[in-house]
Amino acid sequence: MNLDLNLQVIAPALIVALSLLLVLLGEVFLPASQRRWLGYLALIGLLGAAVVAAMLWGANLSGFGKMVVADAFGLFLTLIILLGAALSVLLAFDFVRAHQLDTGEFFALVLSAVVGMIGMVTATDLIVIFLALELLSLPLYVLAAFKRADKRSLEAGLKYFLLGAFASAFFLYGIAFVFGGTGTTNLGRIAAVLGASPRSDVALVGMGLLGVGFAFKVALVPFHWWTPDVYEGAPTVVTAFMSVAVKAAAFGAFFRVFLVALPELAADWRALLAVIAVLTMTLGNVAALLQSNVKRMLAYSSIAHAGYILIALVAMGVNGAGSALFYLLAYTLTNLGAFGAVIALSDGTRERLELNDFAGVAKAQPLVAAALTILLLSLAGFPPFAGFTGKFFIFGAAVESGWAWLAVIGVLNSLISAYFYLRPVVQMYMVEPAGGWNRLRVAPFVAFVLAIAVIGVLALGIVPAPVIALASGGFLK
Amino acid sequence: MSTPLVLTYVGFLIMAAVAICGGLIAVSARNLIRAALGLILSFVGVAGLYFVLEAEFIAVVQILVYVGAISILVLFAVMLTRGLMRRDLSAQNSQWIAALVVALVLFSALLLVATGTNWKVAETKIAGDLIPKLGEQLMTTYLLPFEAVSLLLLAALVGAIVIARE
């Protein structure tokens, strides 16, 4: 009997799964007027999981025959995912009511996606990683199409589903090849077999197919085509959640598979990923320049940010993985805050998404305008905000590992990006609105999210040392 | 080649041909019902391949789940969707040449690798009845993936209800 039942290792995911079941039961038994409590229930589950994840820090547990681990890398990403999910749930409180979405199902699907995400970043077996990938993807396909009355939301869901299913097939095919070449799906044993045997084409093909699967999920060029349409069509809260949490989860597994299982093939994948990073950054930023819709702009910006994070993977080593974790945390806070500002500026169900909708916001909503300005500056990588320190660490890691030219292209791309991130700022502060702006009441939860995002972005930007120390401690052995 | 090996080889060729023909019908048929029937043929071919590989349990599951359940669901879905049954739909679009080129390149790369590799072969045959062993493995070594699947099915169920409900 090989029963290695170490439930502690999966405790954060178990707590989220438990709250998922409670939310589903609540949806059945609570009267419609009381369903808003389901959001609080989801929030409590996420916070409880975060507390447990923090308690596991440093113990370095593994369980289920080394199929999952609770190492620093996985726990750091788990905490990022839980933070992103909790802030998204806060943004969703008033959003689901205003847009008349099904409350219970909404939160239940968010929670099940979170379970999948935690699974992805803590799994050390390709089978578990694949199941976790599916568990995170399926709810998101549905969440993207959640506004069933809206054709674009349905289109987003369908597109995401078809391309995501395609990507999953590639990923599964890759697993089959890696298994065929090495006889195992455990990441550590794959590395051991590859290290002991001569170079095998089978593993190389497997690596390529796994890479395609990951590239779809984190939206790397040329597998990014779905991103703008899905981000634009999906309900804004879902876009916010998707843009940060999926990136953290998929990059977590991407890093773990490539750094733990395939370091033997590093010479092959580093060059390939470096090229993809350049393409991704450049295309993301240049395409973002051309957008007039803020959600589409943020979609292309998220593609560009995936390119920056990919530089960290090419850099490898302690600095590479550590800087990627730091960057993902900074990106989660910043991007969720930016989407929070977009939600704060929407008037009931009418959202202001075109650039010229932002004209004159600074006069009507000075606080929201200031918050959005800080967040956009952070996304562009201006000091003293988190985006700057994050890029600084990533480019530093690239230079140290001998990929200075990649860092240079990254810096050039940041310069391009400043232009489109500043366009809404110019609109808000310097352009007079065409129509009058009636002052909106910003929902307290949304204001809270904005406050957390701004404080976090400033704190990470000014005193990054403790967090980068924690993130670098999470290097994968 | 010994006689049983030749028989296995012939069986493999027949079943592979069935699977490929079914797949071709599924993607080229203009009528959705015909496409679905082609898909069923392809599933049967794959089940046959499993039989040839002496994985009888997987083969039976393939027939029960894919041929039995999934195909019937597909047929139901097509028949219940108004106007879909009689209309002729083309599965081609303007990019089919580019897609063909990419698919052929990928296929030949995979073919080269697959034929040029010394695949690992299990040295010993597992003795005794396989199915109890499979069940035991699922409840011990693979307990975590097994349980993860149940959560996945729950999420899929909730998602399907959300999408399909009026």
Q: Which of A24, A138, A200 sits opposite B159 (nearest CB)?
A: A138
Q: Which two tokens stand for residue A361?
A: 């916001």
First to last CA, chain B: 61
> What pLDDT, on the 0 to 100 scale, is given for residue A127?
95
> What pLDDT, on the 0 to 100 scale, is given for residue A175?
95
Sign of CA dihedral B63, B64, B66, B72: positive
Q: Which residue spans within A180-220 are E strands per DSSP? A: none
> What pLDDT, on the 0 to 100 scale, is given for residue A219?
93
**Interchain CB distance below 8 Å, A127 and B143:** no
**Interchain CB distance below 8 Å, A131 and B145:** yes
User: Given B91, B117, B148, which residue is the final one in a domain?
Assistant: B91
Residue in chain B closest to A136 (alpha carbons) equals B152
Shared domain check, B141 and B70:
no
Shared domain check, B83 and B5:
yes
Residues of chain B with confidence (pLDDT) below 50: none
Give the Å distances, CA to CA, from B153 to A139, B6, B37, B64, B100. 11, 42, 26, 18, 34
Angle between helices A247-256 and A294-315 (to 10 degrees): 20
pLDDT tens digits, A259-270: 999 998 888 899
The residue range of the domain holding B133 is: 129-166
Q: Is the ipTM of this complex over 0.95?
A: no
Which residue(s) pair with A347 in the sheet?
A: A350
CA–centroid distance for A94 within its chain = 22
pLDDT tens digits, A14-41: 999 999 999 999 988 988 888 888 999 9
Flag whether B38 is in a domain.
Answer: yes
Q: How far apart are CA A390 and CA A396, in angstroms?
A: 10
User: Given B37, B72, B91, which residue is the final one in a domain?
Assistant: B91
Q: Which two tokens stand for residue B26?
A: 């599924």
The β-bridge relationship of strands A68-70 and A61-63 is antiparallel
Shared domain check, B143 and B66:
no
Asked if A108 has any chain B CB less than 8 Å from its own CB, the reply is yes
Which residue(s) pair with A61 in the sheet?
A: A70
First to last CA, chain A: 28
User: Given B62, B91, B120, which residue is the final one in a domain?
Assistant: B91
Flag whether B85 is in a domain.
Answer: yes
Q: How many domains does chain B have?
A: 2
Flag whether B76 is in a domain.
Answer: yes
> What pLDDT, on the 0 to 100 scale, is given for residue A355?
83
Average pLDDT of the residues of chain A:
91
The answer to whether A24 touches A115, Cβ cutoff 8 Å, is no
Shared domain check, B81 and B4:
yes
- How many CB atoms sit inside 10 A of residue A119's CB? 28
pLDDT tens digits, B97-108: 898 999 999 999
The answer to whether A325 touches A397, Cβ cutoff 8 Å, is no
Flag whether B104 is in a domain.
Answer: no
Which residues are CB-neighbours of A169 under 8 A, at least 6 positions away?
A: none
> What pLDDT, on the 0 to 100 scale, is given for residue A360?
83
Shared domain check, B4 and B83:
yes
pTM exceeds 0.80: yes
Q: How far apart are CA A326 and CA A386, in angstroms?
A: 9
Q: Name residue, tokens 């033997």.
A: A264
Shared domain check, B8 and B84:
yes
> What pLDDT, on the 0 to 100 scale, is given for residue A100?
83
The domain segmentation of chain A, as residue ranges, is: 265-477
**Interchain CB distance below 8 Å, B154 and A131:** no
Whether the predicted pLDDT of A107 surpasses 90: yes
pLDDT tens digits, A247-295: 999 999 999 999 999 998 888 899 999 999 999 999 999 999 999 999 9
Q: How far apart are CA B28 and CA B90, in angstroms?
A: 8
